[in-house]
């Protein structure tokens, strides 16, 4: 028997508002993401990429269709702790250290009744995450003492504090300079390989999508519909030499034709 997908959208449609002013954001989205798969979503501005992630996170309820996590109807599933969301810009509190910011979701969600009694376990988890993203020595630093890339690493740690099975990433490196972005892409692939997370990743950058992904989903202009799902059959692990491959550039070019 085939394993259930980590996340599946079944005929998902999304409208905002009603009547003549209603915005038809997404239409008839059918998409399955396998456990441990890295899938990127690309499309023109306003096509519903971020809306799709918000539905996956439970922040929006679709107007039509259904969402399934591991084969279970999302509407009847307690997804707390199973999903990590990384936004376009770091969501950090300036007056909290790196450690304190990483622990912020724990204090907000108060997953355990005896929070303080279990804090040592979470402190150990913070140490693991700081090491995972290469921030050793910066645990007591404040956000204004970190570069943009380092701040986004802290955000990644926040999203991993509960060890979720699914990571949703909404253009997490879009505000970074090109060199830092390339570095973060390489580090994200290393984190993905070491943690075996399922990742649904939104980006405007077609080269980034091809470099990172197992599959690239191309959405149409609004209302967003799936135009194509492209398998990225490039060898792993991937590095700077991957971008020199003819196959890599052919894939980027083929996806670009959808936007001409």
Compute the distance between CA of residue 84 and CA of residue 155 in angstroms, rounded to an integer: 10
| Rounded alpha-carbon distances, angstroms, from residue 26 to 87, 89, 170, 221, 224 | 20, 24, 17, 10, 4
Q: What's the pLDDT at 114?
A: 46
DSSP three-state, residue 69: strand
CA neighbor of 53 nearest in space, from 158, 169, 209, 215: 169
**Of 137, 163, 189, which residue constitutes the final position of a domain?**
163
58 and 147, same structural domain? no
State the pTM of this model: 0.90
72 and 174, same structural domain? yes
8: β partners = 32, 68
**Domain boundaries, position 159:** 90-163
Where residue 58 sits, what CATH number does that domain have? Answer: 3.40.50.300
Q: Which residue spans within 34-184 are E strands per DSSP?
A: 38-42, 64-69, 72-73, 83-86, 166-170
- Report, as ranges of residue numbers, the positions in the chain whose pLDDT lies below 70: 1-2, 75-81, 108-121
Question: What are the pLDDT digits (tens) for 39-77?
Answer: 999 999 999 999 999 999 888 989 999 999 887 877 655
Query: How many domains in the chain?
Result: 2
Q: Are 56 and 69 in contact (CB under 8 A)?
A: no
Q: What's the pLDDT at 78?
A: 58
Compute the distance between CA of residue 82 and CA of residue 96 in angstroms, rounded to an integer: 25
């Amino acid at each position: 028997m085939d394993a259930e997908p980590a996340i599946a959208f079944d005929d998902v449609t999304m409208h905002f508002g009603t009547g003549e002013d209603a915005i038809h954001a997404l239409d008839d989205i059918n998409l399955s993401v396998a456990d441990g798969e890295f899938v990127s979503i690309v499309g023109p501005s306003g096509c519903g990429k971020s809306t799709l992630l918000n539905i996956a996170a439970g922040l929006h309820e679709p107007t039509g269709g259904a969402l399934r996590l591991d084969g279970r109807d999302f509407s009847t599933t307690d997804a707390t702790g199973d999903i990590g969301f990384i936004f376009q810009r770091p969501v950090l509190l300036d007056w909290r250290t790196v450690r304190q910011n990483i622990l912020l979701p724990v204090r907000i969600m108060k997953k355990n009744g005896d929070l303080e009694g279990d804090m040592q376990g979470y402190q150990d988890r913070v140490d693991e995450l700081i090491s995972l993203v290469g921030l050793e020595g910066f645990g007591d630093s404040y956000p204004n003492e970190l570069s943009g890339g380092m701040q986004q690493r802290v955000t990644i740690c926040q999203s991993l504090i509960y060890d979720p099975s699914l990571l949703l990433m909404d253009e997490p490196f879009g505000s970074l300079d090109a060199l830092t972005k390339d570095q973060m892409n390489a580090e994200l692939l290393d984190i993905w390989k070491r943690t075996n997370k399922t990742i649904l990743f939104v980006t405007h950058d077609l080269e980034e999508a091809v470099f990172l992904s197992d599959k690239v989903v191309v959405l149409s202009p609004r209302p967003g519909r799936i135009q194509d799902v492209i398998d990225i059959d490039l060898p792993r692990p991937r590095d700077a030499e991957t971008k020199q491959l003819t196959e890599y550039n052919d894939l980027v070019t083929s996806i670009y034709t959808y936007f001409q």
